[in-house]
Amino acid sequence: MKALLILLALPAILLPTACLLYILYQALPALNWSLIAGSDTANISNMSSAGQALWHQISGSLLLMMLANILAAPLALSMAFFHALIASRQQKMILMTFLQVLQGIPPIVYGLCGLILLVHLLHWGISLATGAVILAIIILPLLSSNIIHALERIPAEQTEAAAALGMSKAAIVLRVWFPLAWTSMLTGLVLAMARSLSETAPILFTATVFSGIAWPDSLFSPVTSLQTHIFYLAQEGSNAQAIHVAWASAAVLLALVLLFSLTALFLRRYKESS
């Protein structure tokens, strides 16, 4: 029995790790500074644009992520404060169920709806703004429930003690809750950032183009992003250079996502130790 379990568990433990190592193995030969920063020798006019510097894709991804989080954070905070301060027991339950259901809806569905409303009905076109709004809606339930859980971990005595001093709700939030819960709230935000960096499908047809964009001129112009870049390159089977760049982009994207998720882990440890 034990042997059978270990036999079954081995692929579960080893395969994902092997995948990570394989990506590194494939990416390392292609990964160098000129690939990321761009160089004179890179052939920009190359049809596959595989020679293009990854810098533009990286900045595009980060831009989308930042905008989405800036949009989503205040809304998520107000949801969390509503949950913690105003909502009745029943309203809390409805809110939590609502958030759970929203988290379950596939991101591509949001992408579709964004395509209808933002791209076509509001005429924003394929643009940075469209992508940011769609990503914001996707991470909103995740971010809200993360912050709600962070606030729930504050001991009730603290809040009661503050309320007993006659502090207003705004003052309780600012002077009691933020100092107590900022690390866990930040952890939630960082996790949402990692999530918005890894979403690909919803921005594929709503925010990004393959190449030719260095830096978006305005909110309403398209961007390039790492995620979609990998997708386009992956399909260029005939072009060995493109595949190399795809692996390199995957490694860079992984590094970015891991940076955020490890930061979140570190913050949680820090919170536990202090």
Partner 1 sequence: MRNKIFILLVLSGCFIASLSSLAPIWFLWDTSWPFWSSYGISSLWGTEWYPFESLFGLLPAIVGSIWVLIIAMGVAIPCGLAAAIVSSEILPASWQNLLRVSMEVLAGIPSVVYGLIGLWVLLPWLQQHLGLLTGHSLLAAGLILSLMILPTIMVMALDALRLVPAEQREAAINLGLDWEQRLYRVLLPQAWPGIRTGMLLGLGRALGETMAVMLVVGSMDRLPQPIYNILEPAQTLTSRIGREMGEASFGSMHFSALLACGLVLALFASLLSLLAHRKSKQAHP
The minimum distance between CB 82 and partner 1, in angstroms, equals 5
First vs last Cα of the chain: how many Å apart?
42
Residue 58 in the binding site for partner 1 (CB under 8 A) = no
Give the binding range for partner 1 (CB under 8 A) out of 32-40, 41-49, 210-218, 246-254.
Answer: 246-254
| Contacting partner 1 within 17-46 (CB under 8 A) | 17, 19-20, 22-23
Give the binding range for partner 1 (CB under 8 A) out of 30-38, 49-57, 207-215, 249-257.
Answer: 249-257
Q: Which is nearer to partner 1, 2 or 41 (CB)?
A: 2
CB burial of 234-245 (b: ≥16 within 10 Å; e: otherwise) equals: eebeebeebbbb
The Cα-based distances of 107 to 103, 123, 134, 141, 195 in angstroms read 9, 21, 9, 12, 11
The residue within the footprint of partner 1, chosen from 32, 39, 120, 160 (CB under 8 A), is 120
The minimum distance between CB 249 and partner 1, in angstroms, equals 9
* DSSP tag of 217: S
The minimum distance between CB 176 and partner 1, in angstroms, equals 14
Residues 209 and 116: beta-carbon distance below 8 Å: no
| Contacting partner 1 within 60-119 (CB under 8 A) | 74-79, 81-82, 85-86, 96-98, 100-117, 119
Residue 48 in the binding site for partner 1 (CB under 8 A) = no
User: Counting Cβ atoms within 10 Å, is residue 139 exposed (0-12), middle (13-18) or buried (19+)?
Assistant: buried
The minimum distance between CB 81 and partner 1, in angstroms, equals 5
Give the binding range for partner 1 (CB under 8 A) out of 16-24, 38-46, 147-155, 158-166.
Answer: 16-24
The minimum distance between CB 42 and partner 1, in angstroms, equals 22
Q: Which is nearer to partner 1, 44 or 93 (CB)?
A: 93
The Cα-based distances of 189 to 63, 140, 186, 231, 245 in angstroms read 16, 10, 5, 26, 30
* DSSP tag of 223: B
Radius of gyration of the chain, Cα coordinates, nearest whole angstrom? 22
269 CB neighbour count, 10 Å cutoff: 10
The minimum distance between CB 198 and partner 1, in angstroms, equals 3
Q: Which is nearer to partner 1, 18 or 44 (CB)?
A: 18
The distance of Cα 182 from the centroid of its chain, to the nearest Å, equals 19
Q: How many residues bind partner 1 (CB under 8 A)?
A: 87
The residue within the footprint of partner 1, chosen from 128, 230, 248, 267 (CB under 8 A), is 230
